[in-house]
Amino acid sequence: MINLAGKYPYEYDVIVVGSGIAGLFAAIKAARFARVCLLTKDALYNTNTWLAQGGIAAALGIDDSPEKHMEDTISAGGGLCNLEAVKVMVEEGPGCIKELLELGMPFDRVDGRLAMTREGAHSSNRIVHAGGDATGQVLHETLKKNLFANRAIVVREHTFVTDMVTCEGQVIGVRTLAGETYRAGAVVLATGGLGWVFSCTTNPEVATGDGVVMAYRAGAEVVDMEFIQFHPTVFRSPQEEIILISEAVRGEGAVLRNCHGERFMDEYHEMAELGPRDVVARAIVDQMKKNGSKYVYLDVTLRDPVFLKKRFPTIYGFTLKYGLDLARDWLPVIPAAHYAMGGVRTGLHGETNLDGLYACGEVACNGVHGANRLASNSLLEGLVFAGRVVERIEKTGKRLPGSLHQTCTTDYGEKILPLKPAYRRELGDELRTIMFSKAGILRDEKGLLTVQRFLQQHAPLLEAVPEDRSTWELKNLFVVANLIVNSALMRTESRGSHYRVDYPQPDEAWRLRHLCQSVKRYAAH
């Protein structure tokens, strides 16, 4: 058990940064043996978890098994999955669902049994869900109730963590924008994704890759940053509002049609609309280019209206606002940046190459998703590996090094004035637009070098320290973009979600090879 003296107002046994599924679950489990502080830069709910529609994949059915789930995960992963990590996830997943049930999670049921649906590239119905298509909201609310009911957990919202604090070679805490230092024997990064680096994304505006960047600056290794998943079916309203149209809609029978009303997915994959996300996203882009259209259509009009309203209440209500009835109308959809397979490199218990620093959820990468994530494995990953992080922390019992009165500081250099809001927005929009167009679904050397030159032009931004959150986030996005582009240029093949038009085929020489970056080195292994 960890036992720190607690003489300072911001000293805990475990610090968790982030309030999605991985962060909440880690905090709840760690509070069984430790004093925990959970920090999140915005409101607790403002996460990708809250927006998740589909559900959680787990081999719970009588005709299913962890082995089948593993096969599907590996198949979708494009030959790059860490087999040991996949095995851990699929075998421990059902137990995590049981834990959620014990915490009060009200999964949808049919005749008293858990309702399970099927999504893209799954061979069985194994997706449990809640609230129809509101799994993330229901899950987040359930975990939040447990979080606030636990007196061993301190929650600080609107607390923006900017950097790690290290001492004697160990991460011992974090520094916030307000200048506060939070100290602990173990720091758990669960900050989520980085989708806001792209102009079209399903992610909320808070998804600026802060965790990856602060870990990278502290010396942590990041890996597989070239692999960004683009969700195939996103509805964009005339007002530019975006909503993801869950994979589960296709799992319930929806089909894709081009601008001529023709189905096309049979030409691209044997599973048609239920092919892997990377395949479906590229097929949609191909159809848009061939036909000169701005979108394709998602058609689920063959299903009963009553069923659709009950199964997809969120999607049904949202599209209805724009005069589209899911039961009668085809929805115009496009692909959008959705999930980062890469992140802070970890082992099977979330351990990083920095003593005292752990990572889990989307910010982390242990290779479980390979080059392309299987639908509804993200929430599962968050649960399984958050639990394993906590197991490791409890077992090792990390303590702060040296005297508790020891002062450990970081050289932050001279601060700069905040960028003017108008210029900051303009620069951010320019970055996000060029990343989506040149480093998005389809890539080539010319486009990636164009992005690289743009990033180099603004290199001074990376050398200064902002004084406000928005500028910090912009700086982090520039670092994220650099990490993505560097890896995308280096991997001269197409694999999973990474598609190089100038190298359109997988190269056996790259199979099972990962691109690892740190402030000290850049290597393929």
Instruction: Write the single-letter amino acid at 360.
Output: C
- Respond yes or no: is residue 183 known to be catalytic: no
Number of neighbours of residue 205 by Cβ within 10 angstroms: 12
* 442 contacts: CB under 8 Å, gap ≥ 6: 282, 285, 499, 501
Selecting among 35, 118, 183, 277, the annotated active-site residue is 277
Place of tokens 């359109």: 504
Phi first, then psi: give them for residue 419, nearest 5 degrees: -65, 145
- Using DSSP's 3-state secondary structure scheme, residue 121 falls into coil
* Burial class, 222, CB count within 10 angstroms (exposed 0-12 / middle 13-18 / buried 19+): buried
Helix (H) or strand (E) holding 243: strand 242-244
Dig out the tokens for 24 from the structure.
């909440």
b/e map 478-508, b = 16+ CB within 10 Å: bbbbbbbbbbbbebebbbbbbbbeebeebee
What is the C-alpha to C-alpha distance for residues 202 and 298, in angstroms, rounded to an integer? 17
What is the C-alpha to C-alpha distance for residues 141 and 187, in angstroms, rounded to an integer? 24
Number of neighbours of residue 278 by Cβ within 10 angstroms: 27
Strands (E), 102-227: 109-110, 113-114, 116-117, 127-128, 153-156, 161-167, 170-176, 181-189, 222-223
What is the C-alpha to C-alpha distance for residues 225 and 76, in angstroms, rounded to an integer? 17
Phi first, then psi: give them for residue 497, nearest 5 degrees: -75, -10
Dig out the tokens for 78 from the structure.
């494009």
What is the C-alpha to C-alpha distance for residues 226 and 484, in angstroms, rounded to an integer? 5
What is the C-alpha to C-alpha distance for residues 99 and 221, in angstroms, rounded to an integer? 32
Catalytic residue IDs:
277
